[in-house]
């Protein structure tokens, strides 16, 4: 069930401001302006750190960890496996990694399993926000903006809209000559936080949706692929395909993404600014598990969410924990320009301060 969100204007202004002035980029690993050495991290310990989970933030995490190793502390190596949120949460619960990563907050059976094993509460902290877009491969309309009404994209994901020239799509695109081509819907085959964000919205916005919300659901239609990487490849390699991926994968791979009709009836293109606007009026709860399945802000892209890193309440090796803490704090502060560059939405400073306080006070080592 989506969380009830209390109303506050504290979240959106910093997000929108931070999202301005993005530069186009590839996944180069040269030094990024603004990623200078953090004094705390520069003097920090060496460690080999392992993490696994969400593919949603994987391009960002790979850049963050590479830049940190090259420019801040060469003694810290962070290995991150983009295996999907479901697998990442399982590895975190099983204690086979130093941190987990997920686009879905830990809850339900997984939360209980963690509590029973560790006799403690898990610690999840957000790192960035981002949009989940409907990207497509339709060469007949290359260079033109595709708009999808709620009825249209709900129909695609439920299997009721099967042709690109369906009247529900054509109605919102009067100036586009849509082809008489079959639609293939690409979706995740693995346990996925991106799926959680996507189905959280679809469950709210689409009256005919019966598959529920989760990191895995019983899809009524579509072709499955592993990870955001796999779905992006499925779209790129197969004309007529549309599927949901995190915005950075659309941006980095030059895959067009549709403007979607939001709850206010506005057609909004996916951008970091419109993704950040989803949080207007939202106050992040104490456990940071913020969900906004269908934002009312007319400027908001309708599908976006936070992604979290999960750390343990206790680490046996204080040097490893200190190294991981330094990496996370550097990423959230000095690493902000990298997040902007890749199309993610950095956290506002007030939330970063809360994250730093939680990491400093709740995690014990040694």
Q: Quick check: 32 and 338 in contact, CB under 8 A?
A: yes
Q: pLDDT, tens digit, for every residue of 54-108?
A: 999 999 999 999 999 999 999 999 999 999 999 999 999 999 999 999 999 999 9
Centre a 10 Å sphere on the Cβ of residue 294 and count the other Cβ atoms it contains.
Answer: 18
Least confident of 89-98, 243-252, 282-291, 334-343: 282-291
> What is the rounded average pLDDT for all residues in the chain?
90
Domains of the chain: 21-129+306-365 (3.40.190.10), 131-279 (3.40.190.10)
DSSP letter at 2 equals: P
CA-to-CA distance for 347 and 305, rounded, in angstroms?
Answer: 12
DSSP letter at 40 equals: H
Of 355, 325, 290, 312, the C-alpha closest to 93 is 312
With 70 as the cut, is the pLDDT of residue 249 above it?
Answer: yes
The reported pLDDT for the residue numbered 7 is 31
Place of tokens 């019966």: 210
Choose between 35 and 16: higher pLDDT.
35
């Amino acid at each position: 069930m989506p969380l009830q969100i209390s109303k506050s204007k504290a979240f959106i202004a910093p997000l929108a401001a931070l999202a301005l002035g993005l530069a186009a980029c590839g996944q180069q690993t040269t030094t990024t302006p603004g990623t200078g050495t953090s004094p705390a991290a520069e003097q920090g310990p060496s460690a080999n750190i392992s993490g696994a989970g969400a593919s949603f933030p994987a391009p960002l995490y790979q850049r963050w960890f590479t830049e940190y190793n090259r420019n801040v502390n060469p003694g810290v190596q962070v290995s991150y496996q983009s295996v999907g949120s479901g697998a990442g949460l399982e590895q975190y619960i099983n204690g086979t990694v130093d941190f987990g990563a997920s686009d879905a907050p830990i809850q339900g059976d997984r939360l209980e399993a963690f509590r029973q094993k560790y006799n403690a509460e898990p610690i999840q902290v957000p790192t960035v926000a981002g949009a989940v877009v409907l990207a497509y491969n339709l060469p007949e309309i290359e260079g033109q903006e595709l708009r999808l009404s709620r009825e249209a994209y709900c129909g695609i994901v439920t299997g009721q809209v099967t042709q690109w020239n369906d009247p529900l799509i054509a109605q919102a695109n009067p100036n586009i000559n849509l082809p008489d081509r079959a639609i293939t819907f690409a979706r995740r085959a693995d346990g996925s936080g991106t799926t959680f964000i996507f189905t959280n919205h679809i469950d709210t916005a689409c009256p005919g949706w019966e598959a529920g919300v989760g990191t895995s659901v019983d899809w009524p239609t579509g072709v499955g692929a592993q990870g955001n990487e796999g779905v992006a490849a499925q779209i790129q390699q197969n004309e007529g395909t549309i599927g949901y991926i995190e915005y950075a994968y659309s941006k980095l791979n030059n895959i067009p993404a549709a403007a979607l009709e939001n709850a206010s009836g506005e057609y909004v293109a996916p951008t970091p600014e419109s993704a950040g606007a989803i949080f207007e009026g939202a106050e992040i709860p104490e456990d940071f598990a913020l969900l906004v399945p269908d934002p009312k802000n007319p400027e908001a892209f309708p599908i976006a969410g936070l992604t979290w890193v999960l750390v343990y309440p206790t680490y046996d090796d204080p040097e490893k924990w200190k190294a991981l803490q330094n990496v996370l704090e550097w990423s959230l502060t000095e690493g902000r320009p990298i997040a902007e560059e890749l199309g993610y939405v950095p956290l506002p400073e007030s939330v970063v301060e809360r994250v730093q306080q939680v990491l400093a006070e709740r995690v014990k080592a040694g």
